[in-house]
Amino acid sequence: MRFTILRETFLKPLRAVSGVVERKHTQLSPILMNVLIRVEGDRFSLTTTDQEVELVSEGHLEASAVEPGAVTVPVRKLMDICKTLPEGEDISFVEEKDRVTVRAGRSRFTLSTLPVMDFPSLNEQIGSFEFSVSKRELKTLIEQTCFAMAEQDVRYYLNGMLLEVKNDYVYGVAADGHRLAFGKTAISFVDKEGIRVIIPRKGVLELQRILEDSDEEIKIILGNNHIRAITKEVQLTSKLLDGRFPDYERIVAKGGDKVFTSRREVLKESFQRAAALFSDRFRGVRLKLTDGCLKILATTSEQDEVEEDLEIEYAGGELEIGFNVKYLIDFLNAIPAETVQFTFSDANSSARVEGIGGEGGIYVIMPMRI
């Protein structure tokens, strides 16, 4: 394999695929630390994978400077080399036996390779359920929900995000057993049967990383075992999680007779001041509601205390309930509306948080005993 390419032309797709490669070597096959470079005709492709998520990016080459072939080299070393080269520099790659020589200007680097046949692939039949949505809308949907995903829950289906397509909407839902985040975006769709899949945490985060605030559409293909997302720049394939996701419609629909509204930014700043008091993971705050007033109270394990009163719109009688303040802040960060609404039933039931005017997602949080 031999080819020459402009630094910027190579660096952009290399950056696009590098995120899936773990920085730590523990429990990883050495081949998973490499990028597969494939050259054919006047095209090149870069592929990385951790066997759960695969990223592929393609680009154009000057055909006169090409000898076809494929090779795998350490992606982090290659990235560091390309980033430190001057802008506008031509980079040449030459494969010789089990090594690749990289030249640019007066610099020469020799990198070890691993067999291409050992590089794992997710290139199987993904599925036939397809839809398209703008990058901006899908990015917003993920940002509204992904923070509520669990990380290492034994209920493995919570370590990801539910994506459901039905009734001309794409729904995104994430939950960790203590909170639930729900969002949706409209699409043009004709299949009324719908589909629901659970994307693993890493697949969600990598999908979020390749999205941008653009009206350009991204194509999504769903199957029983995989999801594939295709843009002009990159193709992402991720395995899916098995399991039965909680009945989010029942959880989100649950209402209550105690409702208060407040300016989102004012409420968030008050919660942030309360959170600043805590130095440990226990961040429980008590919300004491009386007509027209919200009192925020907290006591730390060091017996530090905070108390703050806010004027709110509320006339539902007295109620005192405890929550993890970090979860409340996460919700308020995700809601774009200027005014938010909290709905309660009683001190032992979950609360619902949402923006006034239908902006943003819907959020449900379980109370804490404090």
Question: Cα 237–242–245 angle (5° rounding)?
Answer: 110
pLDDT of residue 293: 94
Considering only CA atoms, which of 288, 331, 332 is closest in space to residue 312?
Answer: 288
pLDDT of residue 350: 93
Question: Cα 164–168–171 angle (5° rounding)?
Answer: 30
pLDDT of residue 26: 46
Q: How far is CA 329 from CA 7, 266, 276, 365, in A?
A: 42, 11, 12, 12
CB 95 within 8 A of CB 86: no
Q: What's 243's DSSP letter?
A: S
- What residues have CB less than 8 Å from 366, skipping those under 6 apart? 177, 178, 179, 350
Burial (CB count <10 Å: 0-12, 13-18, 19+), residue 31: middle
Considering only CA atoms, which of 231, 220, 232 is closest in space to residue 163?
Answer: 220
CA dist., res. 232 & res. 209, Å (int):
15
How many helices (H) and strands (E) in the chain?
7, 25
Decide: pTM greater than 0.85: yes
CA dist., res. 101 & res. 84, Å (int):
17
CB 47 within 8 A of CB 54: yes
pLDDT values of the chain reduced to their tens digit, one per residue, 370 residues: 999 999 999 999 999 999 888 766 545 688 999 999 999 988 999 999 998 999 999 998 876 668 999 999 999 999 999 999 999 999 999 998 889 999 998 999 999 999 999 999 876 667 778 899 999 999 999 999 999 999 988 899 999 999 999 888 999 999 999 999 999 999 876 666 789 999 999 999 999 999 988 999 999 999 889 999 999 989 999 999 999 998 999 998 887 889 999 999 999 999 999 988 877 666 889 999 999 999 999 887 778 888 999 999 998 889 999 999 999 999 999 999 999 999 999 999 999 999 998 778 999 999 988 7
φ/ψ (deg, to 5) at 64 = -65, -15
Ordered domains of the chain (ranges, CATH):
2-118 (3.10.150.10), 129-247 (3.10.150.10), 254-365 (3.10.150.10)
CA dist., res. 363 & res. 294, Å (int):
20
CB 87 within 8 A of CB 93: no
Tokens describing residue 31 = 């081949």
pLDDT of residue 283: 83
pLDDT of residue 351: 95
pLDDT of residue 194: 83
